[in-house]
Amino acid sequence: MPNNTNSDPTPGDPTLAPPSARRVARQDERRLVILIANSKGGCGKTTLATNLAAYFSLAGQAVTLLDLDPQQSATQWVRLRQDPMVEALGWPADEPVSLGRLQDQLQRARDVVVIDSPAGMDRHTLDHVLRVAQVVLIPVLPSPIDIRATTRFVQNVMLAPSYQRRPRRLAVIANRARTRTRMYEALRQFLASLKIPYLVTLRDTQQYVQAMADGGSMLDPSGPRHQADQRHWQLIGEWLEVQRHLIRSLPGFR
């Protein structure tokens, strides 16, 4: 008579799960999901999302750009770029953002996911995108309106139920800033008051607009005049890699 003592699978044992489930689990463990968000429109979310996608692609990592913005500018950028390392997943403009659909999209996604979020997300949409994200990058412009909007947005993030259950890693990036101005100094003081990491200041230049119009990025050109801009993106990428290492290595960090 066969011995059935150990025939029943152990609940929760990943080695006994179906092969497809094990593949999904392994993908989830190594995937980095980065949310680019701010309630204020025009602060550079898509610029940040597309340049981050280019950064990871040039580093040899496969990227999915999840484009939740109704304008679908990030999706258009991916079409223009024609980079096999970068894919776009769009979102119908008339379809609300739901947690279930987000999770379905992520199961299809690559090792790095960059979410380009729309402006003016309501609290339910914000909670859904925070639920699937591991890191949140918040671009902010040097103007009183943008500073006030970002203050409210950071408060909304920290009060969101999903953030309350599991705080995400937050960081702020100053965008289109001219450092030798009074407004920049006010922005710098504001960012210091947030008590969350302030990574870099991206300079105010039309090169970002020109690059995006052609499917390019600030990481593509060579030559000494681009080195300062590229160093900023290198600093952002290095910080994100540290977060990915912490998420993987520290129990409960994610």
Lowest mean pLDDT among 7-21, 30-44, 140-154: 7-21
CATH number at residue 177: 3.40.50.300
| Number of other CB atoms surrounding residue 254 within 10 Å | 15
**Rounded CA separation 150/38 (Å):** 7
Note whether residue 234 is domain-resident: yes
**Rounded CA separation 246/244 (Å):** 5
Per the model's pLDDT, the better-predicted residue between 84 and 253 turns out to be 84
Residue 235 pLDDT exceeds 70: yes
Residue 113 pLDDT exceeds 90: yes
Question: For residue 253, what are its two tokens?
Answer: 């960090």
Distances (CA, A) of 158 to 74, 84, 86, 170: 27, 36, 31, 10
DSSP label at residue 118: P
pTM of the model: 0.83
Q: Using an 8 Å Cβ cutoff, are 171 and 198 in contact?
A: yes
- 3-class secondary-structure state, position 251: coil
Q: For helices 182-193 and 144-159, give the axis angle rounded to 10 degrees.
A: 10
Note whether residue 19 is domain-resident: no
Residue 110 pLDDT exceeds 90: yes
Note whether residue 22 is domain-resident: no
Residue 235: in which H helix or E strand, if any?
helix 227-249
Range of the domain at 35: 31-248
pLDDT at 57: 96
Residue 224 pLDDT exceeds 80: no
Distances (CA, A) of 147 to 48, 139, 173, 197: 18, 10, 12, 16
Residue 3 pLDDT exceeds 50: no
Residue 75 pLDDT exceeds 80: yes
Q: How many H helices and E strands in the chain?
A: 10, 7
pLDDT at 59: 94
Note whether residue 171 is domain-resident: yes
Lowest mean pLDDT among 10-19, 21-30, 47-56, 105-114: 10-19
Which amino acid is residue 3, in one-letter code?
A: N
Note whether residue 6 is domain-resident: no
| Number of other CB atoms surrounding residue 13 within 10 Å | 8
Q: Using an 8 Å Cβ cutoff, are 174 and 71 in contact?
A: no
Q: Which residues contact 51 (CB under 8 A, 6 or more apart)?
A: 208, 217, 218, 219, 233
Note whether residue 121 is domain-resident: yes
pLDDT at 189: 78
pLDDT at 28: 63
Q: Give the pLDDT band (50/70/90) at residue 15.
A: very low
**Rounded CA separation 178/212 (Å):** 21
pLDDT at 43: 84
Quote the number of domains for the chain.
1
Q: Using an 8 Å Cβ cutoff, are 139 and 45 in contact?
A: yes
